[in-house]
Amino acid sequence: MELAIFYLVAAVAVLSALVAVAHRNPVVNVLSLIVTFFCVAAVFAMQGADFLAGAQVLIYAGAILVLFLFVVMLLGAPVVSGEENPRPVQKTLGAFLAAAVGIGAFFLFSSLREAETKLSEAGNTTRALGRLLVGPHLFAFELVSVVLLAALVGALVLVKRKH
C-alpha cells in the first residue's frame, strides 16, 4: 500500500518536473513545478518529516513560486523564439550530461537495497528541530538570517530604477 502511494507520487513528480522544464509557456512551467513541489512535500510526509512537509508547501510552493509567477506576469510570460532547436553541441552535451546523471543515479542507488527506518519520533519533529536549531546549529541559523538580509538588499538594489 505504501509502495503504491510512493509510485503514484513519484510518477506525478517526475511527469510534472518534465513539463516544468520542457514546456514553452513560462506560466505552465511554474504551475507544473508547483505540482512537483506538492509531491515532494508528500514524500517528506511519508518519511515522518512533518515539519519539513509543511515548510516545503509554505516556503517553496507558497512563496518562492509566487515570486516566480509575479515576475513571469510582470514580464508578460516571455517566450524565447527559436528555442526548440538549440545548437547541436548544446543538444548533445546537455542531453548526455542529464542522461548520465539520471541513469548513473539509477544504477548506483538501486544497489542500495537497505531497509528503511522511520524516524523514532515519527511525526513530531518540530520540537526536536527547534532544539537543534538553537543548540548545536545556532551559528548557522544566525548566519542564514544574514544571507536572507543580503538577498533582500541585493534584490532591491538590482531592480532600482535610476531616477
Partner 1 sequence: MWAEIAVSGVKLAVIAGMLLTVVPIMTWVERRGAAFIQDRLGPNRVGPWGLLQPLADAVKLLFKEDVTPAHVSKGLYFLAPAIAVFVALSTFIVIPFAKAEGIELFGVPLKGLIVAPDLNIGVLYLLALSSISVYGIVLAGWASNNKYSLLGGLRSSAQLISYELAMTLAVLGVLLASGDLRLTTVVEHQAKLWNVVPQFFGFLVFLVAAFAETNRLPFDLAEAENELVAGYHVELSSMKFAAFMMSEYINMTTISALATTLYLGGWQLPGVAMPDGWLGLVLSFAVFMAKVGFLLWLFVWVRWTLPRFRYDQLMRLGWKGLIPLALLNLLWVSVALARGWL
Partner 2 sequence: MVTLAHYLVLSGALFAIGAGGVLLRRNGIATLLGIELMLNAANVALVAFSAFRGNLEGQIFVFFVMAVAAAEVAVGLALLVAIFRKLQSIDVDRLSAMRW
Q: Are 37 and 56 in contact (CB under 8 A)?
A: yes
**111 touches partner 2 (CB under 8 A):** yes
Site size for partner 2 (CB under 8 A) = 87
**Gap between the Cα atoms of 154 and 146, Å rounded:** 12
The DSSP code for 56 is I
Smallest gap from Cβ 89 to partner 1, in A, equals 35
> Does position 120 bind partner 2 by CB under 8 A?
yes
Is residue 123 a contact point for partner 1 (CB under 8 A)?
yes
- Short-list 26, 19, 16, CA closest to 73: 26
Residue 73 contact partner, candidates partner 2, partner 1, none, CB within 5 to 8 A by sort of partner:
partner 1
* Window 18-77: residues binding partner 2 (CB under 8 A): 18, 20-22, 26, 29-30, 33, 36-37, 40, 43-44, 46-49, 51-52, 55-56, 59-60, 63-64, 67-68, 71-72, 74-75
Annotate each residue in 131-160 with x if it binds partner 2 (CB under 8 A) or - if it does not, as one string: -xx---x--x---x--xx-xxx-xxx-xx-
Per-residue cell: 82: 527559436
**What residues contact residue 77 under an 8 Å CB cut-off, 6+ apart?**
25, 26, 27
Residue 52 near residue 125, CB atoms below 8 Å: yes
What would the grid cell of residue 81 be?
Answer: 523564439
Only segment of 68-76, 82-90, 91-99, 153-161 that touches partner 1 (CB under 8 A): 68-76
For residue 80, the tally of other CB atoms under 10 A from its CB is: 8
Name residue, grid cell 546523471. Answer: 101
Residues that bind partner 1 (CB under 8 A): 27, 31, 34, 50-51, 53-55, 57-58, 61-63, 66, 69-70, 73-74, 123-124, 126
